[in-house]
């Protein structure tokens, strides 16, 4: 659909029970019909119209399901706790993330070539600060307020239903039998934050690596940045020139929140 300032591009993954929507080992995503237009259905899905002739469904969903944001509270304890590492940054839960931090000029960094690196199963290729500097030499300096989006096309693995969908995250994270997505290291986030970047997105399941995701989360979220994970369709965006927006659910005390990501091109 065209708007006065561009065409809208959906960057959100589809949520479905048969797709790998949740982090391996976490509670699986579920959606069920609670009320239907009339009684009926099958033994597998019995439908009832006990509330009237309309349809409604319930969802059982982890905060970090599908396309979602990580708030600082995801990895940092709040200041009200006695946990090591507690800080005021950890008080930033989902409902306190400013919407303006989740929108801005999109800078799409193609890192698909890193998948050609020979890595052990379950080990993510590293996106380094030097990779970012090389990008800037070719495409211009990253500026404060830019939304950095890492594009590897890993999201294509999300649309494999059932056991084939394990290639998206399960095989690399749990079984250590398959390849893993490219991921920035802590140094890379420090470099971006020093340039004024406050929001970073990726089309992989996590901003962290499959083998050790904590360092990059602490480096980014610990400095007040927000991560948008499990994006899709970044190949539809130009390297520069699009405006990115993420609209999260306003979840009280949330360590993160699913939402809708899109861009104007």
Q: What is the pLDDT of residues 189-204, one digit of tens each?
A: 999 999 999 999 999 9
Q: Are residues 71 and 57 in the same domain?
A: no
pLDDT digits (tens, 9 = 90+) for 140-167: 999 999 999 999 999 999 999 999 999 9
Question: Which alpha helices (DSSP H) does 105-234 contain, by range?
Answer: 129-139, 170, 186-194, 214-221
Q: Exposed, middle or buried, 33 (CB in 10 Å: 0-12/13-18/19+)?
A: middle
State the pairing for strand pair 30-35/40-41: unpaired
| Same-domain check for residues 109 and 33 | no
Q: Please indicate, yes or no, whether residues 165 and 191 belong to a single structural domain of this protein.
A: yes
Tell whether 57 and 132 lie within a shared domain.
no
Quickly list DSSP for 54-91: --EEEEE--TT-SSEEE-GGGTS-BTTS-STT-BGGGG
pLDDT of residue 145: 98
Using an 8 Å Cβ cutoff, are 13 and 262 in contact?
A: no
Same domain, 119 and 103: yes
Q: Which structural domain, as residue segments, surrounds residue 45? A: 28-61
Q: Are residues 52 and 149 in the same domain?
A: no
pTM of the entire predicted model: 0.95
Residue 215 and residue 114 share a domain: yes
Same domain, 111 and 228: yes
Scanning the structure block, which residue is given the tokens 């929108």? 103
Is the pLDDT reported for residue 78 higher than 90? yes
The dihedrals phi and psi of 184, each to the nearest 5 degrees, come to -70, 150
Number of other residues whose CB lies within 10 A of the CB of residue 225 = 22
The alpha-helical segments, DSSP class H, found in 71-201 are 129-139, 170, 186-194
Look at residues 126, 103, 99, 91 and name the one whose alpha carbon lies nearest to residue 221: 91
């Amino acid at each position: 659909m065209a708007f006065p300032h561009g065409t809208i591009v959906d960057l959100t993954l589809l949520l479905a029970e048969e797709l790998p929507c949740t982090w391996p080992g976490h509670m699986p995503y579920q959606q069920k019909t609670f009320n239907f237009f009339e009684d009926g259905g099958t033994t597998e899905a019995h439908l009832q119209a006990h509330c009237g002739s309309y349809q409604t469904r319930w969802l059982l969903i982890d905060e970090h399901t599908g396309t979602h944001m990580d708030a600082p509270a995801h990895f940092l304890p709040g200041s009200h706790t006695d946990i090591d590492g507690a800080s005021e940054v950890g008080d930033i839960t989902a409902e306190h993330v400013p919407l303006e931090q989740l929108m801005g000029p999109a800078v799409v960094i193609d890192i698909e070539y890193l998948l050609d690196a020979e890595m052990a199963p379950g080990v993510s290729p590293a996106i380094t600060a030097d990779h970012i500097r090389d990008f800037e030499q070719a495409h211009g300096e990253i500026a404060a307020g830019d939304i950095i989006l890492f594009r590897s096309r890993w999201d294509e693995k999300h649309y494999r239903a059932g056991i084939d969908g394990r290639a998206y995250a399960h095989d690399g994270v749990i079984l250590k039998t398959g390849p893993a997505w490219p991921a920035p290291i802590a140094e890379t986030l420090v470099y971006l934050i020093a340039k004024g970047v406050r929001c970073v997105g990726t089309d992989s399941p996590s901003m962290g690596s499959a083998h050790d995701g904590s360092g990059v989360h602490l480096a980014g979220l610990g400095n007040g940045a927000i991560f948008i994970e499990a994006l899709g369709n970044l190949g539809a965006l130009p390297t520069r020139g699009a405006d990115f927006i993420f609209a999260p659910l306003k979840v009280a005390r949330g360590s993160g929140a699913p939402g809708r990501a899109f861009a104007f091109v």
